[in-house]
Amino acid sequence: MRHGSRVKKLGRTKEHRRALLNNLCRSLFICEKIKTTLPKAKAARQVAERLIEFAKKNDLAAKRHIYRFLPDHKLVKIVCDEIGPRFAGRAGGYTRIVRLGPRLGDGAEMVILELVEQADAPIITQRRKLIERRRLVESKKEKKPREKAKEKKSKSKDRKEEQVAKKKAPKTRNLKEKKAK
């Protein structure tokens, strides 16, 4: 018998399980609704509700504790300033699990894990853009070296064409000068 086993292992190692739950909570706080399997949703609900409890306190120690699970300063700010105060009047039960039925591929029970009190759709899209903006900036930086390489290639092609033109030009001048003599 497995008395006192409180951790749902989900068929993963400790590090993999923790990363999975952190990513599920991150997606839940950004989109306020995620689709996943039932065991993952039940495990993620425990973590998410604990983080919301800390967000309701909204002090430095709470923010640092949330940052351990969600290592993104922007997201910690959103959780503490927007999501935490929304649940200030509740004593628990911040998330809801809605069952969808079995998945076609393997028959796993699919559910939607969502926050009970959700924000408006424009606010959620704005939040997603704010969180994902960091990735967009990094991708722009990657494009600049490529553009420089393209410019160098085009400049080298122009130089080659000029060199070819110069080689042709002196020969014609020499022939004209010889004819003139």
What number is the average pLDDT over the span 137-161? 63
Mean pLDDT of the chain: 84
What number is the average pLDDT over the span 56-65? 94
E strand intervals along 80-165: 95-102, 109-115
Q: How far is CA 89 from CA 18, 116, 131, in A?
A: 29, 13, 27
Task: Label residue 136 by pLDDT band (50, 70, 90).
Answer: very low
Task: Label residue 169 by pLDDT band (50, 70, 90).
Answer: low
Domains of the chain: 14-119 (3.90.1030.10)
Rounded to two decimals, the pTM is 0.69
The DSSP output letter for 104 is: T
pLDDT at position 6: 79
Q: Angle 136-130-116 (CA atoms, 0-180°, nearest 5)?
A: 135
